[in-house]
Structure 1
Amino acid sequence: MSRVVIVTGAGRGLGRAHALAFAEAGYSVVVNDRDDAAEEVAAEIGANAVVNRDDVADWDGAARLVDAALGAFGRLDVLVNNAGFVRDRMLVNLGESEWDDVVRVHMKGHFAPLRHAAAHWRQLHKSGRPVTARVINTTSGAGMLGSVGQGNYSAAKAGILGLTFVAAAELDRYGVTVNAIAPAARTRMTAETFAAQMAAPATGFDAMAPENVSPLVVWLGSEDAGDVTGRVFEVEGGRICLADGWRRGPTVEREERWPVTEVGPAVRALLDKSVPPEPVYGVE
C-alpha cells in the first residue's frame, strides 16, 4: 500500500509542486486548499488524490483534514504544513487584524493539523503498530533572521521553528520525525517581497521555480529519512543548506550577583568575542 501525504495550501505555488512531486513518487495525496485550484491539482494527480477544503487553522477543520486521509486511503504517513499568506506592513502601520490573521494561519495552521495527526500516530504506536511518520513544516528566512516590513510573518515563522523543535523531541518516541524547510521560490505570496528575483529566465535553469523545493520535501517524507529530525533546511534553486539554530556563544560567569556597573564591560567583552549576527532581510 502506498504511503499517504497531506499537503496543506496545495492549490498553488509550493504546495502544488509538493503534491505533484509526492504523487510522482507513488504517494496518495490529500490536496488541502480553500481555493478552487485544489480541484485542478487533484484532477492532475488522478485517482490517488482527494480534495479537502477545510481551514487548517480551525481546530475541527484540522481534525477533518486528518480524517480525510484516513477515510480515503486508510492511513496517514506524512504531513506537509505549507499553507500561509502575508499581510506586509511596517510595524508602525501594522494593524491588529493583520497581525492576528497571519499568526493564525501560519502558527495555528501548523499546530492544529500536527496535533491531530500526532494523536493518530500516538494511538497507532500504543496499539503496537509500526509508525514511520513524517512532518515537514514550512518556516522562512524571515523566521530565522527577520524581515523588514514583515514583523507579523517573521514572528509566526520563528514560532514554527520553536514548534518544530518541541514536536521533534516529543514525537520521536512514537516513530515520528519533524523537520522544517525555509524555501525561496516564485509564488503568489513572495511576488512583492522578492520582485527583483521573480522573473523566470528565458533560457537555462529557473532557480526560483517552486518545483526545485519539492525533492527535499519528498525525501524528508520518506522512510529513508527516519534518522533526521529537529532540523531546518534552507532550499532555493539547486542549493540545500542545513541551518544551524541558536547556540550558546561566549560566556562569562561569577559566583555572585553582577553589580550593574560591571555588567556593561562584561557584555561588551562577550560581544567582542562573538560572531556578528546575519543581517535582517531588507536592511542595507
Structure 2
Amino acid sequence: MSIRFDDRVAIVTGAGNGLGRSHALALAARGAKVVVNDLGGDVHGVGGSTSAAQAVVDEIVAAGGEAIAHGANVCKMDEVEDMVKTAMDKWGRVDILVNNAGVLRDKTFSKMELSDFEFVLQVHLMGSVNCTKAVWEIMKEQQYGRIVMTTSSSGLYGNFGQTNYGAAKLGLVGLMNTLCIEGAKYNVKTNCLSPTAATRMTEGLMPDEALALLTPESVTTGLLTLCDDEAPNRTILCAGAGGFASAIVYETDGICLSGDDMTPENVRAQMATIRSADGQEEYTQGGQQTMKFVSKAAAAAGVKMG
C-alpha cells in the first residue's frame, strides 16, 4: 500500500514554519496540490507577513509540485473564505484540511489576562471552526473530505501554565467527536493529531538532545495517515520522535444508586468502584452514556425497558 495524494487539494494552516511546513512539504511530495497558509506572526500571534508561506511554496514548486500561498488570519472568516475560494478557483476542489495554526500565551491562571485566554481559544478553536466551516459544504457535496484537528497532550492531560492552550486543544477533540458523526455518510472523516515536536513553540523547554529526536517530520509521518482515502474516523493519533499511539476516552461501568441510597456519602464511599477500569467502554456518541445509566436504573427498579 502506498499513500498518495495525487489530484487531491490540501489546505494546511500555520504552514510557514515547524509542523505546518513539514505537513505541507510532505503532502506535496506525495502528489497533493497545497494551499500554504500562514499569517506570518510570531508564536504569540504578533505581526504578520506572507514571506514564510511563500518560501514553503517556492520549495514545493522547486521540487516539481504545485502550491500557492495565502496569508488568511484563521480568526477572520472573510479571509478564510477568500482562501478557500482561491483554492476552488485554481483547482476546483478541497479534499484535505489540516488545522495546524496556533499560538502560545503561557502564564499561570492567576496571572493570565482574560484577553490572552480568549485570544488563544480564538486562534486554536475558532480558527479551526472557521476553516472547517468554510470547506464543510464543499466536502459534503463532493462526497470526500479529510479534516485533521491539531490537539495536544496539554489538552488531553493538562500542563502547568497552559489553561488557555489546554482548554482550546481539548475543545478540538469535542469538535471532532461530533463532526465525525455528521460527516460520515458524506465520506468526510475528521481526526485529531496530538504532536510532540521541536518547533518555535518548544524552544527552550527541553534539552537539545531531546529536541534533536523530536523532529517535525516524525509527526508528519502520522499526519499523512489521517489524510488519505483509507484514513480512520474519530481517532486521536499521538505522534513524536517516531512514537505513535492513540488516546482514547473511556467511561467506567460505574455504579447505580436508588431511593434512600442515593446520597453523596454513598457516592463518595464507592468512589473506588466508580473509578474501576473493569468493564470500561469507549463511547462514540453521548447518548450511550444516558442509555447506560437508564438501563442500570431500570434494572435496579425491576422496570422492563422497550
Are residue 14 (structure 1) and residue 30 (structure 2) matched? no
Matches within 5 A, 1:245-260: 245=249, 247-256=250-259, 258-260=262-264
Quote the Cα distance in structure 1 between the aligned partners of 2:209 and 2:203: 7
Quote the Cα distance in structure 1 between the aligned partners of 2:84 and 2:12: 11
- TM-score, normalization by structure 2: 0.80
User: Quick check: 1:208–1:236 contact (8 Å CA) kept in 2?
Assistant: yes
User: Quick check: 2:25–2:60 contact (8 Å CA) kept in 1?
Assistant: yes
The structure with more radius of gyration: 2
Structure scoring higher RCO (CA < 8 A, sep ≥ 6) equals 1
Are residue 140 (structure 1) and residue 152 (structure 2) matched? yes
**Of the candidates 240, 243, 247, which is equivalent to residue 247 of structure 2?**
243
**SS state of the match for residue 251, structure 2?**
coil
Q: Which residue of 1 aligns with 2:206?
A: 195
**Could you tell me which amino acid in structure 2 is paired with residue 49 of structure 1?**
A
Q: Which residue of 2 aligns with 1:107?
A: 125
Q: Which residue of 1 aligns with 2:290?
A: none
Q: Which residue of 2 aligns with 1:224?
A: 230
- Unmatched segments (≥5 aa) in structure 2: 1-5, 41-50, 279-306
Are residue 73 (structure 1) and residue 91 (structure 2) matched? yes
Identity %: 32
How large is the RMSD of aligned CA atoms in angstroms?
Answer: 1.8
Alpha-carbon offset, residue 250 of structure 1:
4.0
Count of aligned pairs: 259
Quote the Cα distance in structure 1 between the aligned partners of 2:266 and 2:190: 43
User: Quick check: 1:55–1:62 contact (8 Å CA) kept in 2?
Assistant: yes
Quote the Cα distance in structure 2 between the aligned partners of 1:76 and 1:120: 7
Q: Which residue of 2 aligns with 1:262?
A: 266
Quote the Cα distance in structure 2 between the aligned partners of 1:61 and 1:30: 14
What do the CA deviations read for 1:13-71 (whole angstroms, capped 9, x no partner)? 00000000011001100000011200100111116100111111211122122112111
* Moved segments of 4+, more than 3 Å: 197-200
What do the CA deviations read for 1:232-278 (whole angstroms, capped 9, x no partner)? 01100111101112x2114110233613443321335434x359xxx
User: Quick check: 1:139–1:160 contact (8 Å CA) kept in 2?
Assistant: yes
**Of the candidates 132, 141, 149, which is equivalent to residue 123 of structure 1?**
141
Matches within 5 A, 1:39-78: 39-46=54-61, 48-78=66-96
Alpha-carbon offset, residue 195 of structure 1:
2.5
